[in-house]
Chains A and B, each alone.
Chain A
Amino acid sequence: MDNIVPEQARTALDAADRARRQVAEEVGLPRGYWWAMAAGWILLGVLGNVLPPWLAGVATVGFGVGHGVLAPRLLDGRRRTDRLQVSAAVAGRRTPLVVVGMLLGLIGVTVLVALALDADGAGHAGIWAAVLTAAVIGFGGPEMLRVLRRWARA
């Protein structure tokens, strides 16, 4: 230990920190999860348009329950790939909250877009709003989560 100068120690600490950050970047949800979510979003938009309101409500609750069953295993973001499992300490306890907050935000966006389209006189406003949100989720879900995690320091 005597022959380690502070500069070497600092370099070693940087290397260890870099390795940790590389693992932290692996936090997220599997790609298939986002596409399944997008498909579910469109399905709900269609059902909301063709079904009676009470039945559309049941479908929405079913979607929520299905998500609730699947989510506990995935929302902590530690199993994005099958190549490693990020430790709980690195994934952070706030990641599930960020995912839930993001989904609630997307629901809000869907409702607002549907209302705007409806006010503009568009037909099937709910479906178009759902398709728009689904595209955002499918194509940009992982990136959005990454940015939100950075903002929330999760």
Chain B
Amino acid sequence: MTGEETPGARDIAVVAFAQTDVLRTTDELSEVEMLMPVLHSVLDRTGLKTADIGFTCSGSSDYLAGRAFSFTLALDGVGAWPPISESHVEMDGAWALYEAWTKLLTGDADTALVYSYGKSSPGSLRDVLTRQLDPYYVAPLWPDSVALAALQAQALIDAGQADESALAAVGARSRRVATLNSHAQLRGTVPQGDYAVRPLRTGDCPPVGDGAAAVILAAGERARDLCSRPAWIRGIDHRIEAHSLGVRDLTDSPSTRLAAEKAGAFERPVDTAELHAPFSAQEIVLRKALRLDDSVRVNLSGGALAANPMMAAGLIRLGEAAARIHRGESDRALGHATSGPCLQQNLVAVLEGDAR
């Protein structure tokens, strides 16, 4: 799907977005208890009730909860009885949004509720994430998520594309702009800290936190009924790279570039970009892959360095981009989500508001 209009294709827009505050722990809440206020918030923005929604799709991971089929309990929050049209991805909610978008394209539904959530606090996230690695050659060594990101950061430094102060500047800027984001977990002046895994310091790494997000998609005139300025999805695409890190050039993100090209991101400049870059070095890699210069407002929310709730942080990027269009602060925005170690998988969406 490119930015060009395909005959007969439906226009689909993000019409509402809501997110929780991201917190280091939410012991007092179950997943569904954490999620429900967000679901109600996003429905309230459109006046829709759960029974009005044509398709529901969610993203989460059993490995965060330590329980099989953990997403089924969260379904209570969307009123899943009587039976609804529903699906789930064991990934970030950005990929649930992609599935919902294709569902709306088929014409089988006119509205979709997309939500995702993650509670990282019950487990040790660095260890939990090792279980997504190649189980034969890599996972038995238990290389944690920070270590793998540190290898990527060192590769970037060796290539002369960054140094430790450039990395620090990315984290500092993210948390400075996050002072305007009441949902962010780390805001303002945060010490760059000691090495977590050298060359990455704690300030180069995302906070570990719990949180949830939800968006509503709608097709055609329905979108205009539900939102005064819908964020039209002009293109969306996702690509993956070889899972073996030693095969990839860690200083580049060809999958992001290809997804952006297929989503139409390079056809006209964007004014806003929300990048899912959990580690400082990754923002530098992504800016290059997406050819974003200083004229583009990048991660005004603070991005993943200010709040990185697993499974929701990518959907939040798309939601933040859409919300800026809703508020008239952007006319053409790029939303990006990633999954896997060192930017293994990448999704890019291009969103536009109606001309003013």
Question: Are A and B bound to each other?
Answer: no
Query: B residues near A, CB below 8 A?
Result: none
Query: A residues near B, CB below 8 A?
Result: none
